[in-house]
C-alpha cells in the first residue's frame, strides 16, 4: 500500500521549472489490489489524492494530500493508514513543506521537510515509534522534491515531449538521502480500466534506486500507464513484489482541469 501510494504521488515529472498542474478541487481515487499465482486479484486498499487551496504560514498555498488505507474487510489483519501532505507556493509552484503520518499496524512514522529554495537546501526531520527525532540538512537541485511534489511537476507537458525508449532521471527527497528514479517512455497503448472503460495511455517503465543511489537491490520497479490527455493522471500501476504483484487502478475522479479526452467511449 505504502509503495503504491508513493508511486501514485511520484509521477509525472521532468523539469519543475516548467508549468505545473495544481487545480483546487481535483480528487483522484484509486483501488489497490494484490495478485499472485495461487490468489485471485483481491482488492485490499484505497488511495485518494486531493488538491485544495488553504492558508499555510499566513499565506494562501496549494495543499495536496495523499491518503491511503486498507479496506474494512482487511483491517483486522493489517490496519494501514498513511497520510502525506505538501504545501506548494502558488507563484513559484515549488513545495514549501512536506509532512507524512504513517500508521501501519503497531508501526508509526512521521516526517517533515522544510524547503529553503533561496539557499537551495531542505531540512528534514523524522522519527519512528515515538523515538527522538533525527534531523538532516541537504542540498537541493531543481529536480529534488518529495514524492507528491514530483507527481505534479510536469503534468502539463505535451506527449510529444516524450520520446520512446529514451531514459530520464529524477531525484526524490527521502528523510536523510536523495534517491534516484530512472524512467523510460515505452510508447502509447490502449488500456482497459476496471469499471472505468478504455483509455488512450502513455506507458512508462520506472525504477527507484536504493538509498546508495547505485545498487538497485533494495529499489523498486514498476510500470505505470498515464492518461494521454492534458490531465496526465496515473490510470494504472503495476509493481512486482516477492510473490505476485501489487496493482492500483483509477476508480474515480472529479474536479479535473481539463476534459478526459483519453477516455474511449
- Residue 165: count other Cβ atoms within 10 Å of its Cβ: 8
C-alpha cell at 96: 514549501
Section 233-244 average pLDDT: 80
Q: Determine the Cα–Cα distance for residues 203 and 187; give it in Å rounded to an integer.
A: 6
Q: Say what the pLDDT of residue 1 is.
A: 55
With H, G, I as helix, E, B as strand and everything else as coil, classify residue 3. Answer: helix
- Rounded Cα distance between 111 and 29, Å, is 24
For range 231-251, the mean pLDDT:
83
Cell of 32: 489497490
Above pLDDT 90, what percent of the chain? 30
Tell me what the pLDDT averaged over the chain comes to.
80
What pLDDT shows up at residue 188? Answer: 94
What's the rounded mean pLDDT across residues 195-205? 93
pLDDT computed for residue 150 by the predictor:
64
Total number of domains in the chain: 1
Which pLDDT band holds residue 5 (cuts at 50, 70, 90)? low
**pLDDT tens digits for 88-108?**
888 888 888 989 898 888 889
Q: What angle do CA 31, 153, 139 make, to 5 degrees?
A: 115
- Give me the pLDDT at residue 6, please: 57
Show the domain range for 173.
2-264
pLDDT of residue 193: 95
Q: Summarize the confidence of residues 39-56 as an average pLDDT.
A: 86
pLDDT at 17: 34
Q: Of 110, 183, 109, nearest to 143 (Cα)?
A: 183
CA-closest candidate to residue 86, choices 169, 20, 177: 20
What pLDDT, in 10s, does the model give residues 140-199? 877 676 766 665 655 656 777 778 888 777 777 777 777 777 778 899 999 999 999 999
Amino acid at each position: 500500500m505504502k509503495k503504491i501510494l508513493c508511486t501514485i504521488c511520484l509521477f509525472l515529472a521532468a523539469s519543475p521549472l516548467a508549468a505545473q498542474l495544481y487545480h483546487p478541487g481535483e480528487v483522484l481515487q484509486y483501488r489497490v489490489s494484490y495478485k499472485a499465482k495461487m490468489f485471485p486479484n483481491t482488492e485490499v486498499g484505497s488511495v485518494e489524492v486531493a488538491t485544495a487551496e488553504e492558508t499555510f504560514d499566513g499565506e494562501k498555498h496549494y495543499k495536496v494530500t495523499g491518503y491511503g488505507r486498507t479496506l474494512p474487510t482487511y483491517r483486522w489483519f493489517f490496519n494501514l493508514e498513511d497520510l502525506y501532505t505538501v504545501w506548494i507556493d502558488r507563484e513559484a509552484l515549488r513545495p514549501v513543506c512536506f509532512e507524512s503520518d504513517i500508521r501501519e499496524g503497531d508501526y508509526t512514522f512521521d516526517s517533515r521537510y522544510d524547503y529553503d529554495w533561496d539557499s537551495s537546501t531542505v531540512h528534514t526531520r523524522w522519527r519512528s515509534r515515538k523515538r527522538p527525532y533525527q534531523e538532516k540538512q541537504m542540498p537541493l537541485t531543481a529536480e529534488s522534491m518529495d514524492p507528491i511534489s514530483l507527481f505534479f511537476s510536469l503534468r502539463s507537458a505535451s506527449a510529444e515531449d516524450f520520446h520512446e525508449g529514451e531514459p530520464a532521471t529524477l531525484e526524490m527527497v527521502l528523510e536523510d538521502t536523495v534517491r534516484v528514479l530512472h524512467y523510460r517512455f515505452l510508447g502509447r497503448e490502449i488500456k482497459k480500466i476496471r469499471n472505468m472503460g478504455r483509455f488512450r495511455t502513455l506507458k512508462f517503465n520506472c525504477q527507484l534506486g536504493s538509498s546508495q543511489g547505485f545498487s538497485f537491490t533494495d529499489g523498486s520497479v514498476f510500470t505505470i500507464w498515464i492518461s494521454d490527455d492534458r490531465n496526465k493522471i496515473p490510470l494504472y500501476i503495476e509493481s512486482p513484489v516477492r510473490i505476485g504483484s501489487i496493482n492500483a487502478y483509477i476508480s474515480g475522479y472529479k474536479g479535473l482541469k481539463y476534459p478526459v479526452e483519453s477516455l474511449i467511449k
